Amino acid sequence: MVKMKSKTKAELKTAENHYNADPNAMIQTFDLTKAYNMGERIEIRALDGINIDIKKGEFVSVMGPSGSGKTTLLNIIGALDNPTSGAVYIDRMNIAYMNDMERTNLRLEKIGFIFQFYNLVPVLSTYENVELPMIFANKPENIRKKTVERFLKLVGLSDRKDFLPSELSGGEKQRVAIARSLSNEPAILIADEPTGELDTKMGMEIIQLLHDLNRELNQTILMVTHDP
């Protein structure tokens, strides 16, 4: 196989002229490729020519077995990784040209993440975990308080605001994670196997909650799962 090199920003900028980005798309990818070189003659393509067009308010699920590239796709769309080639637009912005600080700000302002293993801070309460992204965003305390109360009520955890993660069930932890992902009112939610650690009943409740948020808030959601 031919060894592939990641494109420079200048090369990506030249290539952009070939793409016709939709101004109404919340997430859009063009010919997205991610390749890993495992040696001089071995190349593994986790993604190969992926094209996605997701409008505001859509709920899109990507399904596939473990190792099929789902998490790689989310990491690139979520500005956690760079593609080998192709283009990625988030809310009309091509993230290929962003430096590390710009990508950090994009994640803070535009993207909410929901992880399979919750990723809650164990020494912080439910309230404090939901509040944390807003502290990083330098939002005033009165705004933080109103927002935390609003989203804890939305996910049904107002009575658990002082609980530590260790005092919550798996389903409750994921609800905290969902409230946290909404706290900066992101343009999109990215959910990576959000029911992977839950039993069937709890998993269905979390999926229903995401559908409710999609409907009530017109929230754009991209979720990957191995479940049909």
Q: How many angstroms separate the Cα of 60 from the Cα of each of 27, 82, 142, 145, 163? A: 11, 22, 34, 31, 32
Q: What are the helix (H) ranges across the chain? A: 9-16, 70-77, 100-110, 126-136, 141-154, 170-182, 200-217
Domains annotated on the chain, with CATH: 9-108 (3.40.50.300), 112-225 (3.40.50.300)
Q: Give the mean model confidence (pLDDT) for residues 87-115.
A: 88
State residue 24's pLDDT score.
82
Which of 111, 108, 132 shows the shortest CA–CA distance to 120? 132
- pLDDT tens by residue, 187-211: 899 999 898 888 888 889 999 999 9
CA distance 12 to 86: 8
State residue 45's pLDDT score.
87
Q: Rounded mean pLDDT of the chain?
A: 86
Give yes or no for a contact between 82 and 103, defined as CB atoms under 8 angstroms apart: no
- pLDDT tens by residue, 78-97: 999 988 888 999 988 888 77
Determine the 3-state secondary structure of 2 from DSSP.
coil
Least confident of 3-7, 15-19, 93-97, 215-219: 3-7
Give yes or no for a contact between 201 and 193, defined as CB atoms under 8 angstroms apart: no
State residue 228's pLDDT score.
57
Which of 209, 128, 130 shows the shortest CA–CA distance to 177? 130
- Confidence check: pLDDT of 8 > 80: no
Q: Give the mean model confidence (pLDDT) for residues 6-21.
A: 53
Q: Residue type at 186?
A: P
What residues are paired with 89 via a beta bridge? Answer: 28, 94
Confidence band of 15 (pLDDT split at 50, 70, 90) = very low
Least confident of 4-8, 32-36, 191-195: 4-8
Which of 200, 129, 192, 203 shows the shortest CA–CA distance to 160? 129
pTM assigned to the model: 0.83
**% of the chain exceeding 90 in pLDDT:** 55
- pLDDT tens by residue, 131-185: 999 999 999 999 999 999 999 999 999 999 999 999 999 999 999 999 999 999 9
